[in-house]
Structure 1
Amino acid sequence: MIRVMLVDDQREVRDGLTLMMSKFADLHVVSRCANGAKAMEELRCLDASGAALPDVVLMDVRMPVMDGIDATRRIVRSWPSVHVLVLTTYDQDDYAFGALAVGASGFLLKDSAVGTIVGAIRSVAAGDAVLSPRVTRELIARVIPNRTPSASDRFSVLPPRELKMAELVSEGLSNAEIAERLSIEASSVKRSITRILSKLGLRDRVQIAVAWYKAGRFS
């Protein structure tokens, strides 16, 4: 069962998403909040009571009181096991890219098909990221305007196969796409990426892409 928190200032959006997820046995909406501040308050209460935290927070970016960027930054810092999936109206939304830069695991358009939203929630809960190659490139360009190779390239600790996987992650490929490219099982890719994150001291695939760019390896 994937526990989901919905954060959106529009009640009709929260209601619609709740209804949609009720049709899938593996998804359960555990909390609904009208803004980032309410989400933080709810998470603190759950944490203090020892209750299970949500696996995925479906987060709007443009909200009053506390927007999705600030909320995402605080959530990933305080509860690293909670993954944030950002909802936005436009695929060029600066707010969405800002949320990715502070730790969101991906973003979706609000008018995405049901299957796309459900698939994204499942992917993020499994530790994957929801980033297309275009989004990855634009994120990198926005987060790091000046490419300067690092004197200490952290990727030098990786063996050749893991180095190639890090490169493909940085290009925005999913586990399945990496597996196809390298002619191996997707489960093997997932294990390897977990090792890469551990070796590099990184939280998720977005951070791999940013670190790859900082190291001057992005083509």
Structure 2
Amino acid sequence: MISVAIVDDQPLIRAGLRMVVESQPDLRLVGEGSDGVDAVTLAREHHPEVMLLDVRMPRVDGIQAIPGVLAAGGVTRVIVLTTFDLDEYVYAALQAGAAAFLLKDAGPEYIIAAIRQVAVGDLLLAPALTRRLVEQYVARPQPRGDGPLAQLTSRERDVLVAIADGLSNVEIGARLHVSEGTVKTHVSRILFKLDLRDRVQAVIAAYELGLVAPGGG
């Protein structure tokens, strides 16, 4: 069973998310909060596997809370709750260590899928949101010579591009005609070679290193 915490300063949002979580037999709500202080406290006391975390909140906002949440035992993965008009905050959340993003108007099925996907260590990066974030808040990249990319094989570069496109391991395997296990191996090697924490950082790196161009297809 996946333990979940909800942190949002709007009671109606919390109530809606609570109903979604409690409707699933494999999800268990362990706590709720209304600001970043509560988020860190919940992480320390309950160690939820997944935390749904709002951005704009009183006292301590979601972005400021992420490092404390991640340091409170190392088991909680954060899904940032956002809207498109908060893009700059979401990019900051990426840098802080958020694992995924969820638009507040997402349907229940999407929320449930996001929680399950993040709980197993994967990420949920909506391609449109990811591309918009990078286009607006990462300076247009200038390739750094061969640099870090020289460490990657041609196939690893293909996988990195697919990650930047927001594809899951299964989807990458289908695109490149390889098994999911092979994709996982490539992803692990990419993260190791480029000294990246997770797939979110891999998306940023793909743009910053010039492997993917903002606005490209």
SS in 1 for 2:111: helix
Report deviation, 1:105.
2.0
CA-based RMSD of the aligned residues comes to 2.2
CA, structure 1 residues 159+121, in 2 after alignment: closer, same or farther (shift >3 Å)? same
User: What stretches of structure 2 of length at least 5 have no aligned partner?
Assistant: none
Q: What one-letter code is carried by the residue in structure 1 that aligns with 2:18? A: T
Q: What one-letter code is carried by the residue in structure 1 that aligns with 2:92? A: G
Please state if 1:58 is matched with 2:52: yes
SS in 2 for 1:62: coil
Q: Distance in 2 between matches of 1:129 and 1:140?
A: 17
User: What stretches of structure 1 of length at least 5 have no aligned partner?
Assistant: 47-52
Please state if 1:34 is matched with 2:28: no
Task: State whether residues 197 and 203 of structure 1, in contact with CA within 8 Å, keep that contact through their aligned partners in structure 2.
Answer: yes
- How do 1:1-150 and structure 2 match up within 5 A? 1-46=1-46, 53-76=47-70, 80-88=74-82, 90-94=83-87, 95-150=89-144
Report deviation, 1:168.
0.8
TM-score, normalised via structure 2 length: 0.85
Task: State whether residues 127 and 165 of structure 2, in contact with CA within 8 Å, keep that contact through their aligned partners in structure 1.
Answer: yes
State the Cα deviation string for residues 49-73 of structure 1 (Å, max 9, x = none).
xxxx211110111111111111124
SS in 1 for 2:3: strand
TM-score, normalised via structure 1 length: 0.85
Task: State whether residues 4 and 49 of structure 2, in contact with CA within 8 Å, keep that contact through their aligned partners in structure 1.
Answer: yes
Q: Percent identity?
A: 40
SS in 1 for 2:85: coil
Task: State whether residues 6 and 53 of structure 2, in contact with CA within 8 Å, keep that contact through their aligned partners in structure 1.
Answer: yes
Q: Distance in 2 between matches of 1:5 and 1:185?
A: 34
CA, structure 1 residues 125+188, in 2 after alignment: closer, same or farther (shift >3 Å)? farther
Task: State whether residues 73 and 99 of structure 1, in contact with CA within 8 Å, keep that contact through their aligned partners in structure 2.
Answer: no
Q: What one-letter code is carried by the residue in structure 2 that aligns with 1:179? A: G
Tell me the number of residue pairs that the alignment of Structure 1 and Structure 2 aligns: 212
Task: State whether residues 51 and 76 of structure 2, in contact with CA within 8 Å, keep that contact through their aligned partners in structure 1.
Answer: yes
Report deviation, 1:115.
0.5
